[in-house]
């Protein structure tokens, strides 16, 4: 009820052109410049009902197209080098900046998102975990989803006989996979445990062993040839997402350094230069991780914290935004709220931005 009232309000303000007027006014008198960095993952043609996790759902072509179309009209599209120049005050922005980023290097960033970016002249920045490129290795969350999507209820219950951590056995006992929502819930509970306890390959292997996982084509990754082709197009830039995509905050200082170095070396070997930017896997960062990123030579580093980039910010912990909307009136409304958040006292920013997201 509350949700539909909010949608009706957005639609009404959009059709009365009030959102458009506000944006025009802000553009005319606005005195604060900031940068909105969008964070995307998979960009499939359409969102399938088979998707059992947020990452699998991704951002559909229609949603991506509308977001880029509207935001690139109101904001100034930039790449990471231009963002760095803005921080160094060697470049100024005529409008608020727009930096479009993608994490993990999904193949559909090339097939679906890139042509849309090219048609609008908007640069894209893809963060790649180099140890997953051009090999058969797959992310743990894709492996878990592929197994859980194919899992039959009797196969699921057979996991109760395996040597597994007691928390996982409890999920097996609690959930019956009788319908899609219990399947999603079971997957979410296991993913949460893996996130909190450090990904355990033996747990994923045990889950995979009782069923026949079916690979989701929307989670396929780019290979080095794709990356070289995209890189030479001039529209798509690449940054590091480490080598093996671990949660860096759970590693020793020595391990963090090796991860970052391995990612950069592989990047240089294939693309001929070192990466300028880094996206922390899972957005996980603390002071130790940030220091290692600085030592490894990164000049910009991104978290998954929701926020607007201001010129005074720490360049090694930059926030991003995930809007998740597809309809023009929703995207306009988000943009108005982002503009309001820009002028609001810092302690209200998170609350206003929460309303700007789906």
Q: Given the rule CB under 5 A, which residues bind Zn ion?
A: 103-104
Task: Pick the closer one to Zn ion by CB: 58 or 335.
Answer: 58
b vs e for 152-173, b when ≥16 Cβ sit within 10 Å of the residue's Cβ?
Answer: eeebbeebeeeebeeebeebbe
Task: Pick the closer one to Zn ion by CB: 142 or 334.
Answer: 142
In degrees and rounded to multiples of 5, residue 36 shows phi and psi of -100, 120
Task: Pick the closer one to Zn ion by CB: 177 or 285.
Answer: 285
User: How far apart are CB 263 and Zn ion at their closest, in Å?
Assistant: 12
User: How far apart are CB 104 and Zn ion at their closest, in Å?
Assistant: 4
User: How far apart are CB 282 and Zn ion at their closest, in Å?
Assistant: 6
User: How far apart are CB 352 and Zn ion at their closest, in Å?
Assistant: 26
**Spatial separation of the C-alpha atoms in residues 302 and 304, rounded to whole Å:** 7
Angle (deg, nearest 10), helices 328-343 and 2-15: 90
Task: Pick the closer one to Zn ion by CB: 87 or 106.
Answer: 106
Task: Pick the closer one to Zn ion by CB: 103 or 290.
Answer: 103
User: How far apart are CB 191 and Zn ion at their closest, in Å?
Assistant: 14
């Amino acid at each position: 009820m509350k949700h539909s009232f909010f949608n009706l309000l957005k639609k009404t303000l959009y059709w009365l052109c009030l959102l458009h007027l506000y944006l025009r006014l802000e553009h005319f008198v606005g005195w604060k410049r900031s940068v909105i960095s969008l964070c995307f993952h998979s960009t499939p043609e359409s969102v399938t009902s088979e998707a059992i996790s947020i990452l699998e759902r991704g951002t559909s072509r229609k949603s991506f197209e509308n977001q880029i179309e509207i935001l690139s009209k109101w904001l100034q599209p930039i790449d990471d080098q231009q963002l760095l120049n803005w921080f160094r005050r060697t470049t100024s922005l005529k409008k608020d900046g727009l930096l479009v980023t993608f994490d993990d290097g999904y193949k559909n960033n090339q097939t679906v998102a890139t042509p849309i970016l090219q048609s609008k002249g908007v640069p894209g920045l893809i963060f790649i975990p180099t140890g997953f490129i051009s090999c058969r290795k797959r992310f743990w969350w894709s492996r878990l989803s592929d197994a859980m999507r194919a899992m039959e209820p009797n196969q699921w219950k057979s996991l109760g006989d395996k040597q597994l951590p007691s928390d996982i056995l409890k999920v097996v006992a609690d959930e019956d996979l009788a319908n899609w929502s219990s399947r999603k819930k079971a997957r979410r509970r296991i993913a949460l445990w893996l996130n909190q306890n450090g990904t355990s390959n033996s747990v994923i292997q045990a889950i995979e062993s009782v069923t026949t996982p079916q690979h989701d084509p929307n989670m396929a990754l780019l290979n080095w040839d794709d990356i070289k082709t995209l890189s030479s197009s001039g529209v798509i830039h690449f940054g590091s997402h480490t080598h093996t995509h671990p949660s860096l905050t759970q590693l020793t200082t020595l391990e963090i350094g090796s991860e970052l170095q391995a990612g950069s070396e592989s990047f240089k070997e294939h693309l001929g230069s070192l990466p300028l930017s880094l996206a922390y896997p899972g957005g996980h960062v603390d002071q130790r991780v940030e220091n290692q990123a600085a030592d490894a030579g990164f000049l910009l580093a991104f978290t998954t914290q929701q926020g607007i980039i201001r010129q005074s910010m720490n360049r090694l912990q930059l926030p991003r935004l995930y809007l998740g909307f597809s309809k023009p009136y929703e995207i306009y409304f988000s943009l108005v709220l982002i503009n309001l958040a820009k002028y609001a006292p810092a302690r209200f920013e998170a609350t206003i931005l929460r309303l700007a997201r789906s």
